Amino acid sequence: MGVLLTKAAQWTTASSGTGKLEFTPMNEFLLKGILCFVEQFNFQHPQEAEHVFEEPLQWITTLVASDFKTDYDISGDVQSQEKDSEGHSLLQLSPPTVCVRSFSQLCKLVHLAGDKKLEEVRACLEENRDPLVKILGPFFANIMERGTVHTQDQAKDSEVKVRLFHLLQNMDKQLLANLLEEISEWLDPTSVKNEVELLKQFCTEGEKKVLKTVRYTSDYEFSNGCRAPLWRQLHGEICYLIIEPYDSEDFYITCSNAGVFLNGVGEQSGYDRTSDVYKDLVTLLKSRSPHFAENINNQVQWNIDRFTVINKKHPYRCPLLLQVVKSTLICSLLFSKDPARAMQVETFSESSSESEEEDEQLERRPENNIDLPAEYWQIQKLVKYLKGGDQTATVLTLCAMMDLNLMQETCQLAIRDVGGLEVLINLLDTDEVKCKIGSLKILRKISNNVQICRTTVEMGGLRCIVKILDSPVKELKALAAETIANIARFRRARRTVRQYDGIKKLVKLLDCVPNLTRLTADQEKDVDVARCGALALWSCSKSTKNKEAIRKAGGIPLLGRLLKSPHENMLIPVVGTLQECASEVSYRIAIQTEGMIKDLVKNLSSDNDELQMHCASAIFKCAEDQETRDLVRKYRGLQPLVLLLGKAENKQLLAAATGAIWKCSISMENVAKLQEYKALEILVGLLSDQPEEVLVNVVGALGEFAQIPANRATIRKYGGIKPLVNLLTGTNQALLVNVTKAVGACATDKDNMAFIDSLDGVRLVWSLLKNPSTDVQSSAAWALCPCIENAKDAGEMVRSLVGGLELIVNLLKSTNNEVLASICAAITKIAKDKENLAVLTDHGVVPLLARLTNTSDDRLRYNLAGAIGHCCMWGSNRVSFGDTGAVAPLVHYLKSKDSAVHKSTAMALYQLSKDPNNCITMHEKGVVKILKCNGQESHIHSHQWLNKYC
Amino acid sequence: MTMSAMSRKLVQTLAETISKQVEHFNKTEVECLIREFKVLLGEPGMGRAVNGLDRVKFRSILHNIFGMTDDMILDGVFRTFDKDNDSFVSMKEWIEGLSVFLRGTLDEKIKYCFHVYDLNNDNYISRDEMFHMLKNSLIRQPTEEDPDEGIKDLVEITLKKMDHDHDGRLSLADFEKAVREENLLLEAFGTCLPDMASIEAFEQCVFQKQL
């Protein structure tokens, strides 16, 4: 069962002994991952679930015979009714030991275990150290190769094994990827990296060489910047180096979070430490290589603080994690001393997370190492002049600095490392306007680097910059705002801006008249200041509290005014801010009432992709509101939105445009208009080969389009049904909610339904009831209703889904009203088939429905009454409803304000009244009086039964 | 009474003429500046006719009103104001100078600054001139072999940035191009223009007093 463990066990056949899994957050996390995998297994991989294990998984369980219900023989030892081809049960319980031989049984067992399921998983893993061997057999790899020589049956068997193997492997990858993320929280490889880069320079510098070579042992860099294998990262190790000095054999060095140390000189002794721990590489080299020590002092004023500063910021956050992982089964396995195994882990993780980390990695790598020395010394010299210069020298030096390649990371970090950042920030606190301008011109560029941003904030630089926003010099204001726009990329910086009243000051910058045809030079400067202010607000608006602060400072009308600007470079930050803030209701209302929709629509037709994207995105967020949707139509925004669908290569733009179309299509008038531009045809074409953020919106829109009957056929005609059904196998919850809704809407067309059924769509929708998200559950249940209603042989179809009805009944235990309402609706449809109603009754639908009757939620009441009404029609269910006290609350429903509730309630009462005892209860509760009070004609048949029975 | 009426009339005529020849000031403002010049020059009843402000007086005015302190630069400013090179800044020269000083366009200011920095008036700013102007701009480190090394380096850095035709000195064209690329270089070799606050204070004081 343990997937990660399965893998882990493979790595560590060497390690032995029966470990216990400690109760640590990390283990809990892994166990939950595994549990989740097992829980879903039956539904997601029914075929693989039936595969019989080579050897049973065996462990001491807390379950007892009485925990097992249907599908098990509980006379004597519990045995499952499900048996293998030779007639042996796949689950056998001889207390306290349980033997399980298939995933389907594991899955069931976990469900039976209820609250104790985590305990069961834990016990199973502790007692089955090689689950993969047990599941797939020791030679599964060989079988995979020799598959063809076996008989047909065996070949099929091994095919399942291969699939099972892949499933387990995938699970492993995911869990390990999560682990990696966890680790990068506390390992900071930057300082080590910088130091190595600098040391490398010392190997190349003509006569002054202090070292022969410096190299990493591994070329592969993980997404967190570390090079040590994953399992060593858990020890806090970052990377390994081989340094060749002039006066000794090679040093094998480990760089870890705690410092650096030798693994050996001349030859490596594994991962063992053979020296003291030094705070950084230079210190280590100084003490170990006299040649280095002698020459390094001549050559550099080494900035040793660098490493220690970084270390101080991370004061051993690792012990917590180490304690977490120490002696856990998994990690004792991970910490294997066998290098070959270690390699496996490394290559394995490599493939799992490579794709996502690639870009980031490229960004991190210094662009060009070769010109570093020249620039490094140059920068150090300039910073010296900054420190010791008067205003004139300072300005000259700042101008010289601007000529450096400030967008290059090596330069940016060098400025920080030689103390330049501090000087630049100090200059902001002086009265010298020119020095401030020069300093900001540099800060604005180097703040492209996140590390610079963080250091700036830590040094209190942001406070100075915010203060400058009040300056009477416009150029200064603009530069300060631009710099803030760069720095406020992380939360702490955004909070700092707000705390120093920066939001208010930035909003003030927006106050200008942007759309005059002729501007004086002075007004032009005002417009530029406003543009920079908008850029800064855009960055800041990523924090919710800042959105509120912008609104309070009166930013919305000012943004609205700037929205009329004819210039793209102004519009992009303005619309960017607006769309960012449109996540808040207050903004959505303001955008509508301040008349901004018109301008947003206008700019949909701009020829700038980014601007179009932000406009579409703003409309996407605002069009939740009916009035806004109507305005988009009124200002002719629908056609440009459809045109944007043509730019399918720009995925961000496509996501925004499809999102806007989705939300707009909630209004049927809009759907009609969109149809004129052939939107449906294009949308169906976007159902495949698109990223999920596009698919969610496309499918959402199709769900709305399909509310109109004619469109349902159109979707089929354009080939939309099949890709929709295919999407039901996905995992993105937002997407699943929309897909089920769209499939449900399509299923209201009989021809569509036949097609969906032939694609096995109903089973797929049904299996989504198992999804952990209540949104997906309810959406799936709603979708089932039209499926059952329109399927040709609905009763048979439902019966063919093994365990399906039990699942439905069990969901009546949900605490979510929407889930309950949807399940009741589905039961209403299912119960129309007598045979299925009988099964529902066997699974105990009656008491569960009765238990829900006390609700005050009208939507649930409506569907619940419907379900009760239909469930009455089997056996003694009427009596049971009476016995379980469902009748009295139902009578109370008639007092609801919702007439739909009255109707379904009346129907239910009519059915219940066929039992005389129920009639008495109703009478006691005053049903006649209430009905007469309501006196609506919708209760025709209720009057009929009144006349008949009372 | 008659004297002051006479003088008023004279001032008005003079202002009329000058305001036609000098940019940026209207007639009333010129009038105010004339009066202010007379005040700065000292009481008229002293007997000897004075040609204008001499170097010492000029320096102390710039120092007191505009907070400019660097003597070498102030000499340059005086030289630039004193167009006819007679060692006095006349009333007209004063007003002409102020028009750039207070309200000059970037073009005018570039020419003005270049002239201030061109110490020997040969239309080039040489290495030596730069060194001369910058020699007190860095803290000298006595530990160093050559305490002027920093300054020399600063001069080279500046030349590298501004000397576009690579002839080892700055022509007006070099200077102009560099300043247009980076406005901060306008006062590259020392403050020779007043800051915004003192301009405002001066204008307010001079122009409003008489209105």
DSSP at A278: B
Whether residues A438 and B184 touch (CB distance < 8 A) is answered with: yes
pLDDT score recorded for residue B1:
44
* Cα–Cα distance measured from residue B90 to residue B51, given in angstroms and rounded to the nearest whole number: 6
Whether the CB-CB separation of A63 and A111 falls below 8 Å is answered with no
* Cα–Cα distance measured from residue A601 to residue A634, given in angstroms and rounded to the nearest whole number: 10
In a shared domain, residues A4 and A75: yes
- By the CB < 8 Å criterion, does B143 face chain A? no
| Chain B residues lying within 8 Å of A472, measured CB to CB | 196
pLDDT score recorded for residue A482:
95
DSSP at A700: H
HSE of A297 in the Cβ direction (CA atoms, 13 Å)?
Answer: 8
The reply to whether A488 falls in a domain is: no
Domain boundary among A454, A480, A506: A480
Look over chain A and give the mean of its residue pLDDT values, rounded to a whole number.
80
Among A821, A815, A913, CA closest to A858:
A821
pLDDT score recorded for residue A326:
29
Q: Find the closest chain A residue to B181 by CA distance.
A: A399
- In the chain, the amino acid numbered A941 is H
Q: Where are the domains of chain B?
A: 3-103+194-210, 112-187
| Chain B residues lying within 8 Å of A438, measured CB to CB | 184
pLDDT score recorded for residue A112:
80
Query: If pLDDT is split at 50, 70 and 90, which confidence band does A642 have?
Result: very high
pLDDT score recorded for residue A256:
85
Q: Find the closest chain A residue to B140 by CA distance.
A: A388
Lowest mean pLDDT among A379-393, A532-546, A921-935, B12-26: A921-935
Whether the CB-CB separation of A809 and A826 falls below 8 Å is answered with no
pLDDT score recorded for residue A231:
67
pLDDT score recorded for residue A300:
42
Please give the average per-residue pLDDT across A525-534, as a whole number.
Answer: 93
Who contacts A748 (Cβ-Cβ below 8 Å, separation ≥6)?
A706, A709, A712, A786, A789, A790
Name, of A312-316, A592-596, B136-140, the range with top average pLDDT. Answer: A592-596
* Cα–Cα distance measured from residue A804 to residue A453, given in angstroms and rounded to the nearest whole number: 55
A812 compared with A926, residue with greater pLDDT = A812
DSSP at A531: H
In a shared domain, residues A805 and A941: yes
Please give the average per-residue pLDDT across A213-221, as a whole number.
Answer: 82
**pLDDT of A62 strictly over 90:** no
In a shared domain, residues A204 and A126: no
In a shared domain, residues A115 and A206: no
**pLDDT of A698 strictly over 50:** yes
A66 compared with A693, residue with greater pLDDT = A693
Whether the CB-CB separation of A674 and A664 falls below 8 Å is answered with yes
In a shared domain, residues A198 and A132: no
pLDDT score recorded for residue A324:
32
Spatial strand order of the sheet with A91-94 comes to A52-60, A97-102, A91-94, A78-80, A72-73
Please give the average per-residue pLDDT across A501-522, as a whole number.
Answer: 85
pLDDT score recorded for residue A328:
32
Kindly give the interhelix angle for A281-288 and A290-299, rounded to the nearest 10 degrees: 130
Residues in chain B, overall count: 211
**pLDDT of A314 strictly over 50:** no
* φ and ψ of A284, to 5 deg: -60, -50
What ipTM does the predicted assembly reach? 0.92
CATH number of B112-187: 1.10.238.10
Which tens digits make up the pLDDT trace of A35-49?
Answer: 888 887 877 777 778
Of the residues B143, B154, B159, B170, the best mutation for testing chain A's interface (the one with the most A CB atoms within 10 Å of its CB) is: B154
Query: If pLDDT is split at 50, 70 and 90, which confidence band does A336 have?
Result: very low
Which tens digits make up the pLDDT trace of A404-440?
Answer: 889 888 889 899 989 999 999 999 998 889 999 999 9
In a shared domain, residues A135 and A216: no
pLDDT score recorded for residue A155:
56
- In the chain, the amino acid numbered A737 is V
Of the residues B73, B184, B200, the best mutation for testing chain A's interface (the one with the most A CB atoms within 10 Å of its CB) is: B184
**pLDDT of A148 strictly over 60:** no
Query: If pLDDT is split at 50, 70 and 90, which confidence band does A13 have?
Result: very low
The Cβ of residue A489 has, within 10 Å, a number of other Cβ atoms equal to 16
The reply to whether A812 falls in a domain is: yes
Which ranges in A647-708 belong to alpha helices (H)? 651-664, 668-676, 679-685, 692-705
**pLDDT of A696 strictly over 90:** yes
pLDDT score recorded for residue A630:
93
Whether residues A438 and B138 touch (CB distance < 8 A) is answered with: no
Please give the average per-residue pLDDT across A850-857, as a whole number.
Answer: 91
Percent of chain A surpassing pLDDT 90: 39
pLDDT score recorded for residue A570:
93
pLDDT score recorded for residue A145:
43
In a shared domain, residues A1 and A106: yes
Please give the average per-residue pLDDT across A879-899, as a whole number.
Answer: 88
Whether the CB-CB separation of A866 and A907 falls below 8 Å is answered with yes
- In the chain, the amino acid numbered A843 is H
In a shared domain, residues A821 and A940: yes
Determine if the pTM surpasses 0.80: no
Domain boundary among A145, A179, A204: A145
pLDDT score recorded for residue A184:
64
Q: How far is B182 from chain A (nearest CA, A)?
A: 8
pLDDT score recorded for residue A232:
74
The Cβ of residue A107 has, within 10 Å, a number of other Cβ atoms equal to 22
**pLDDT of A948 strictly over 60:** no
**pLDDT of A214 strictly over 90:** no
Who contacts B14 (Cβ-Cβ below 8 Å, separation ≥6)?
B34
Q: Is B187 exposed, middle or buried (0-12, 13-18, 19+ CB in 10 A)?
A: buried
Q: Is the dihedral of CA A474, A479, A485, A490 positive or negative?
A: negative
Query: If pLDDT is split at 50, 70 and 90, which confidence band does A584 have?
Result: very high
pLDDT score recorded for residue A302:
38
Query: If pLDDT is split at 50, 70 and 90, which confidence band does A140 have?
Result: low
- By the CB < 8 Å criterion, does B154 face chain A? yes
Question: Over its length of 211 residues, how does chain B's per-residue pLDDT go in tens digits?
Answer: 455 666 778 888 888 888 888 888 988 899 889 888 888 887 555 555 567 888 999 999 999 999 888 888 999 999 999 988 888 999 889 999 999 999 999 999 999 999 999 999 899 999 999 999 998 888 876 666 777 888 999 999 999 999 999 999 999 999 999 999 999 999 999 999 998 889 989 998 888 765 4
Whether the CB-CB separation of A476 and A437 falls below 8 Å is answered with yes
pLDDT score recorded for residue B43:
59
A146 compared with A357, residue with greater pLDDT = A146
pLDDT score recorded for residue A335:
35
Q: How far is B111 from chain A (nearest CA, A)?
A: 19
Query: If pLDDT is split at 50, 70 and 90, which confidence band does A490 have?
Result: confident
Three-state DSSP at A513 gives coil
* Cα–Cα distance measured from residue A502 to residue A497, given in angstroms and rounded to the nearest whole number: 5
- In the chain, the amino acid numbered A706 is A
- Contact residues of A toward B, CB < 8 A: 381, 384-385, 388-393, 395-400, 402-403, 433-434, 437-438, 472-473
Give the domain B3-103+194-210 fold.
Recoverin; domain 1 (1.10.238)
A203 compared with A663, residue with greater pLDDT = A663
Whether residues A395 and B141 touch (CB distance < 8 A) is answered with: no
In a shared domain, residues A941 and A799: yes
Which tens digits make up the pLDDT trace of A751-810?
Answer: 899 899 889 899 999 999 999 999 999 999 999 999 998 888 888 888 888 888 999 999
HSE of A456 in the Cβ direction (CA atoms, 13 Å)?
Answer: 38
The reply to whether A203 falls in a domain is: yes
In a shared domain, residues A95 and A229: no
Spatial strand order of the sheet with A211-216 comes to A211-216, A237-245, A251-256, A259-265
Tell me: cis bond preceding A96? Omega within 30 of 0 counts. yes
Domain boundary among A225, A257, A288: A288
* φ and ψ of A362, to 5 deg: -60, -40
In a shared domain, residues A100 and A202: no
| Chain B residues lying within 8 Å of A401, measured CB to CB | none
**pLDDT of A368 strictly over 50:** no
pLDDT score recorded for residue A536:
96
Number of independent structural domains in chain A:
4
- Domain housing A470: 376-480
Among A861, A860, A872, A883, CA closest to A913:
A872
In a shared domain, residues A938 and A798: yes
The reply to whether A827 falls in a domain is: yes
Lowest mean pLDDT among A352-361, A720-729, B39-48, B191-200: A352-361
The reply to whether A761 falls in a domain is: no
A18 compared with A774, residue with greater pLDDT = A774
A122 compared with A865, residue with greater pLDDT = A865
| Chain A residues lying within 8 Å of B138, measured CB to CB | 385, 388-390, 393
Whether residues A397 and B154 touch (CB distance < 8 A) is answered with: yes
Whether residues A395 and B184 touch (CB distance < 8 A) is answered with: yes
